[in-house]
Amino acid sequence: MSTRNLKHEVEAQLAEGNFVKVAGAENQAEAEFLQGLLREEGVPSSLRRARGFDVPDFLAAGPRDVLVAQSDVPVARDVLLQADGGPLVPDSAVVASPLRVLAGVVIAVAIVALLVWLGTEFLISAQALHWVLRG
């Protein structure tokens, strides 16, 4: 089957509502990567913008849904599970929880306050020493 015929078949099935979401992606590039994995295994798929993000101004940004025909769902899930080698982003790049951010801010403020206090104490004691030695 040619690519053109496959595309028409996928669009026809999508119009009939026979497609099921099997994966979500953060953006179009990630969705196309998943679509490529499915295509390599012979599973036709389609992409659509996730609900709430169907704004053409987003271009390639915004989440996408990866859809396959109802009959291909088991195969598609197996392909995607086999391809899952862990998170695509290293653990160090994961966004910190709000509690950790708050703790970091409190510690930073405490360190700055300590440095300001020590600096003023040093200046006061230096000034007092200057007055004692001068007078």
The string of pLDDT tens digits covering residues 52-100 is 766 677 677 788 888 888 888 888 888 888 876 444 334 444 455 778 8
Looking at the structure, give the CATH architecture of the domain made up of residues 3-91.
2-Layer Sandwich (3.30)
Amino acid 95: pLDDT: 52
Largest CA distance in the chain: 101
* Domain ranges within the chain, ordered by starting residue: 3-91, 95-135
**What ranges make up the beta strands (E) of the chain?**
19-25, 45-49, 64-69
DSSP 8-state secondary structure symbol assigned to residue 20:
E
pTM higher than 0.85 = no
Comparing 62 with 1, the larger pLDDT belongs to 62
Comparing 74 with 107, the larger pLDDT belongs to 107
Q: Which of 103, 100, 66 is nearest to 83 (CA)?
A: 66
